[in-house]
């Protein structure tokens, strides 16, 4: 893939979020699916932040130990993050965190079932969405696993807020850490 400019990446993030939200809305309009609720609960918000920290730590360990994952993650993150400034990273957290969670955990998960079948199917779809090339298989495996973690957090809490907060903060923390690591290695 050719590198994109800052404007192209931000536009792609926005368009992708709108498309995913459109799919979720269309699915609920034509289907009989009962969307998973989102409601404010400070405890659930803290669970989401804690889950994001745990995922970020696990990702760092896997990044350190698994060469294929490190190469895959670096390729993906370099493509996405290199042109962006630090303040732009808020969009990396918010747009995918909200739109992907609404579609994959808010709509797909209840449609497929709030059980292991729903977790597996929605997670496989989530992982497949992260496939940009066959060389990205390890990154897709990780995304599929994390999709399962997000799904179980939604089922256990009964609140889509938990995976939304976890997803937003995981993306944000990972992006900031990657940008800092890149600036340190360039210095």
Instruction: Report how far residue 163's alpha carbon sits from residue 154's, in angstroms, rounded to the nearest whole number.
Output: 6
Instruction: Report how far residue 135's alpha carbon sits from residue 5's, in angstroms, rounded to the nearest whole number.
Output: 23
- Residue with tokens 């932040």, as numbered in its chain: 49
Helix segments in 31-160, DSSP class H:
42-65, 67-81, 89-100, 109-112, 116-129, 137-157
Exposed, middle or buried by CB within 10 Å (0-12, 13-18, 19+), for 176? middle
Instruction: Report how far residue 176's alpha carbon sits from residue 57's, in angstroms, rounded to the nearest whole number.
Output: 14
Instruction: Report how far residue 87's alpha carbon sits from residue 1's, in angstroms, rounded to the nearest whole number.
Output: 25
Residue 167 CB contacts under 8 Å (≥ 6 apart), including other chains = 52, 96, 97, 100, 101, 150
pLDDT tens over the chain, length 187 residues: 678 999 999 999 999 999 999 999 999 999 888 899 999 999 999 999 999 999 999 999 999 999 999 999 988 899 899 999 999 999 999 999 999 999 999 999 999 999 999 999 999 999 999 988 788 899 999 999 999 999 999 999 999 999 999 999 999 999 999 999 888 887 6
Judge whether 157 and 44 are in contact, CB under 8 Å. Answer: yes
């Amino acid at each position: 893939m050719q590198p994109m400019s800052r404007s192209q990446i931000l536009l792609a993030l926005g368009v992708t979020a709108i498309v995913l939200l459109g799919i979720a809305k269309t699915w609920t309009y034509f289907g009989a699916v009962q969307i998973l609720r989102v409601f404010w609960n400070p405890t659930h918000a803290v669970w989401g932040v804690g889950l994001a920290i745990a995922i970020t730590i696990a990702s760092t360990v896997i990044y350190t130990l698994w060469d294929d994952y490190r190469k895959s993650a670096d390729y993906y993150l370099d493509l996405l993050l290199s042109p962006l400034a630090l303040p732009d990273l808020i969009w990396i957290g918010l747009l995918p965190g909200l739109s992907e969670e609404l579609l994959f955990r808010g709509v797909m998960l209840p449609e497929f079932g709030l059980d292991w079948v729903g977790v597996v199917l929605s997670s496989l779809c989530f992982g497949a969405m992260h496939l940009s090339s066959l060389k990205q298989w390890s990154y897709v495996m990780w995304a599929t696993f994390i999709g399962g973690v997000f799904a179980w957090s939604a089922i256990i809490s009964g609140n889509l807020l938990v995976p939304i907060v976890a997803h937003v903060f995981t993306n944000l923390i990972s992006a900031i850490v990657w940008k800092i690591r890149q600036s340190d290695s360039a210095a």
